[in-house]
Amino acid sequence: MLTLYYSPGACSLAAHIVLEESGEPYEARRVDFTKTEQRSAAYLDINPFGRVPALVLDDGTPVVENTAILPYLGKRFGLWPAGPVAEAKALSLIGFFASSVHPAHAHFRRVERYSADPSTFPAIQEMGRKTFIAYLAQVDGMLAGRDWFLDAYSVIDPYALVFYSWGLRHYELPMGEYENYTALRDRLLERPAVRRALDAEDLTT
Ligand SMILES: N[C@@H](CCC(=O)N[C@@H](CS)C(=O)NCC(=O)O)C(=O)O
C-alpha cells in the first residue's frame, strides 16, 4: 500500500487528490509543521529534504518531490498523458509549478530561507508576492478555452489547485477575477475525489 506524508493545505494536496482519485487503499500520514515534524530524524529518514509531500511505495521505497511523485502517481493511476509530446508538456507544466510558481510563494511565506538579514524581508516578500500573482495570471491565460491543462484531466490539474487555494488563503486575492482558473477550480470541485481530499485536509478550496 502507498503512504503519503502530507500537511494540510500544503503542496502535498495534489498527490492527496490523485490518491483519492485512484480508488486504491492508501495511508495518509500528517506531518505536523507546528511541531516541526518535517525536520525530525524519523521524517528526514523518509525525506532528507525535510518537506512534504513524500510518498512511500508498496515496497518501502520513498519518493520525494512533486516532480517525481506526480508523474509516478499519474502513470500508475491513468492520470498521465500518452505519447512523448504530451508527456513533455505535462513535465513542462510540473516543472513550471515546482520551480517557478511554488518558489515565488516561498519568498513570501518562507522568507527566512532567502536572507539572514530581517531588514530585507519585506522587500523579498513583496517581490515574491508580486511574482506569485503574476504567475497566477499566466496560469489563468494558459487555461483559456480549455477544460483541463492537457487534453484530459491529469495530475497537473490538482497541482494547479494548490496555487489557487494559496491565492485565496495566503494572499486573500479576488481569485474569481481569474475566470479560467476559477472555472478549473469549479470543475475540480465537482469531482468527489477532490472533495474528499479537501475534506480530509479541512479545506474548502
Ligand atoms: N520542491 C518540493 C517543495 C516541497 C515544499 O516546499 N513543501 C513545503 C509545503 S508546500 C514544506 O514541506 N515546507 C516545510 C518547511 O519548509 O519546513 C516539491 O515540490 O515537492
The length of the chain in residues reads 205
CA of 64 to the centre of ligand 1 (A): 10
CATH for 84-191 is 1.20.1050.10
CA of 52 to the centre of ligand 1 (A): 5
165 Cβ closer than 6 Å to some ligand 1 atom: no
Specify the ligand 1 atom closest to the Cα of 106: 6
Block residue for cell numbers 518562507 = 110
CA of 11 to the centre of ligand 1 (A): 7
CA dihedral sign, ordered 90, 24, 13, 17? positive
CA of 15 to the centre of ligand 1 (A): 13
As given in the structure block, the three cell numbers for residue 55 are 510518498
What mean pLDDT comes out for the span 132-157? Answer: 98
Q: What is the pTM of this model?
A: 0.97
* Phi, psi for residue 145 in degrees, rounded to 5: 70, 15
Nearest CA to ligand 1 atom 13: 51
Q: What is the pLDDT of residues 95-138, one digit of tens each?
A: 999 999 999 999 999 999 999 999 999 999 999 999 999 999 99
CA of 6 to the centre of ligand 1 (A): 10
Specify the ligand 1 atom closest to the Cα of 110: 16
Following DSSP, what letter does each residue of 32-71 receive, concatenated? Answer: -GGGTGGGSHHHHHH-TT--S-EEE-TTS-EEESHHHHHH
Residue to probe by mutation, ligand 1, list 4, 5, 6, 11, most atoms within 8 Å of CB: 11
When pLDDT is cut at 50, 70 and 90, the band that residue 61 belongs to is: very high
Distance CA 203, CA 205 (A): 6
Which architecture, in CATH terms, is 2-77?
3-Layer(aba) Sandwich (3.40)
* Phi, psi for residue 55 in degrees, rounded to 5: -120, 125
Collapse the DSSP code of 81 into the 3-class scheme (helix H, G, I; strand E, B; otherwise coil) and give the result.
Answer: coil
Q: What is the pLDDT of residues 3-26, one digit of tens each?
A: 999 999 999 999 999 999 999 999
- Is the CB of residue 107 less than 8 Å from the CB of residue 124? yes
160 Cβ closer than 6 Å to some ligand 1 atom: no
Distance from CA of residue 147 to its chain's centroid? 19
Per-residue model confidence (pLDDT) at position 160: 98
Nearest CA to ligand 1 atom 5: 51
11 Cβ closer than 6 Å to some ligand 1 atom: yes
Q: Verify cis geometry, omega within 30 degrees of 0, for the bond prior to 118.
A: no
38 Cβ closer than 6 Å to some ligand 1 atom: yes
Domains of the chain: which residue ranges?
A: 2-77, 84-191
